[in-house]
Structure 1
Amino acid sequence: MPGIRTAAQAKAWLEHQGKSVQAFAREHGVDPATTYQVLAGRKKGRRGEAHKVAVLLGMKDGIILAEAESQNEDQECGS
């Protein structure tokens, strides 16, 4: 797997594909504001939607759980 992208590299990657941040967010079903915040470094992508965005942009190595799976894990951990 290629290395982790920096924010600047992720922006360049989007530009290389001819995609706006808005288009990327729509395509992946994520919040555009969160995507901008991850790219700007205001959100680190540690959990939740920001984590998903960072992984999709290649800025973080990680997995994206389906919504149902993550809810089930939350319930199991809380019991």
Structure 2
Amino acid sequence: MTPEQVKLAFQKRGETFTAWAKANGYQPIEVYRVLNGFAKCKYGKAHDIAVKLGLKPAA
């Protein structure tokens, strides 16, 4: 999925990124950084978030 597709999916479900972040143990700013391209998502929390959101395949 692309970040735009993820954003659209959240919008269709009526779910906020803040609620998703808190439910999954992340800070909302970390999720926003991944979705808006500010994080490289190669390793660490950013990578984990990208995988959970469906932006990257699981290793």
Q: Same fold (TM over 0.5)?
A: yes
Large movers: runs of 4+ above 6 Å: none
Partner of 1:75: none
What does residue range 1-16 of structure 1 map to in structure 2 within 5 Å? 5-16=1-12
Please provide the CA RMSD for this pair.
1.0
Partner of 1:69: none
Partner of 1:57: 53
Q: Hey, what's the Cα distance between the residues in 1 that align with 2:7 and 2:42?
A: 19
Cα deviation for residue 40 of structure 1 reads 0.3
Residue-pair matches, total: 59
Greater RCO, 1 or 2 (C-alpha within 8 Å, sep 6+): 2
Unpaired stretches in structure 2, ≥5 consecutive residues: none
Q: Hey, what's the Cα distance between the residues in 2 that align with 1:15 and 1:56?
A: 17
Normalising by structure 1, report the TM-score: 0.69
Q: Hey, what's the Cα distance between the residues in 1 that align with 2:19 and 2:51?
A: 17
What does residue range 1-79 of structure 1 map to in structure 2 within 5 Å? 5-63=1-59
**Higher CA-based Rg:** 1
| Overall identity of the aligned pairs, in % | 36
